[in-house]
Amino acid sequence: MTTFDQLMAVRDRRGAGYLTLLDPDRLSIDELSQRAQACAEAGADAILVGTSLMLSATRNAALFDRLHEIVDIPVISFPGDAGQVVPKADAILFLSMLSGRNPELLIGQQVRAAPVLKEYGVEVISTAYLLIESGTLTSTEYMSTTRPIPRAKPDIAMAHALAAQYLGMRLVYLETGSGAAQSVPTSMVKAVADYVDIPVIVGGGVRDAETAREKVEAGASFIVTGTTVEDDPGRLREISDAVHIGSRSQRA
Ligand code: 1GP
Q: Quote the ligand 1 centre to 216 CA distance (angstroms).
A: 16
Q: Are strands 75-77 and 91-96 parallel, antiparallel or unpaired?
A: parallel
Please identify every stretch of the chain with a pLDDT value under 50, giving residue numbers as ranges. 252
Instruction: Please report, for residues 76, 152, 168, 171, the alpha-carbon distance to residue 128 in angstroms, rounded to integers and kept in the order given.
Output: 16, 20, 10, 6
Residue 247 is predicted with a pLDDT of: 77
Q: How many CB atoms lie within 10 A of CB 118?
A: 10
Q: Quote the ligand 1 centre to 42 CA distance (angstroms).
A: 18
pTM of the model: 0.97
Q: What is the dihedral of CA 241, 245, 247, 249, to 10 degrees?
A: 180
- Taking the CA of residue 229 as reference, the ligand 1 atom at the shortest distance is 9
Q: Report the C-alpha gap between 123 and 222 in whole angstroms.
A: 19
In Å, how far from its chain's centre is CA 148? 17
Dump pLDDT digits (tens) for 89-147.
999 999 999 999 999 999 999 999 999 999 999 999 999 999 999 999 999 999 999 99
Q: Quote the ligand 1 centre to 252 CA distance (angstroms).
A: 30
Residue 10 is predicted with a pLDDT of: 98
Hey, which bits of 35-106 come out as E strands? Answer: 46-49, 75-77, 91-96
What is the residue with the minimal CA distance to atom 1 of ligand 1? Answer: 178
Instruction: Please report, for residues 42, 120, 160, 196, 218, the alpha-carbon distance to residue 170 in angstroms, rounded to integers and kept in the order given.
Output: 27, 21, 13, 11, 19
3-242 adopts what CATH topology? TIM Barrel (3.20.20)
Domain ranges of the chain: 3-242
Q: Given ligand 1 and candidates 21, 201, 202, 232, which is best to mutate, with the most ligand atoms within 8 Å of its CB?
A: 21
Q: Report the C-alpha gap between 149 and 153 in whole angstroms.
A: 7
Length of the chain: 252
Residue 248 is predicted with a pLDDT of: 63
Instruction: Please report, for residues 34, 71, 229, the alpha-carbon distance to residue 31 in angstroms, rounded to integers and kept in the order given.
Output: 5, 14, 11
Q: How far is it between the farthest Cα atoms of the chain?
A: 47
Residue 189 is predicted with a pLDDT of: 99
